[in-house]
Amino acid sequence: LENAVRHGGGTVTIDIAPTAGGEGPEGTVITVSDEGQGIPEESMNRVFTRFWRGSKRGGTGLGLYIV
């Protein structure tokens, strides 16, 4: 969520909804959307890779990997 707020470039929308037949955390879907610049096409296949970062800025590269 922090990343979406930091890089969202405007409105950040967070939706929380139940899933059919699910209970507890397993029965919940959280969707985060924003109006930011998006992820470059060439980076899309790596954004969930452990320790991968899209820039030379600080960070561990674990954000989307953990999600």
What is the per-residue pLDDT across 26-61, written as a single tens digit (0 to 9) for each? 788 888 887 777 778 888 888 888 877 777 777 777
Cα 6 to Cα 23, 28, 44, 57, distances in angstroms: 31, 24, 19, 13
Place of tokens 């561990």: 60
Mean pLDDT along residues 8-12: 78
- Coil, strand or helix at 31: strand
Q: How many CB atoms lie within 10 A of CB 15?
A: 9
CA 3, chain centre distance (Å): 7
What's the CA gap between 2 and 37, in Å, rounded? 16
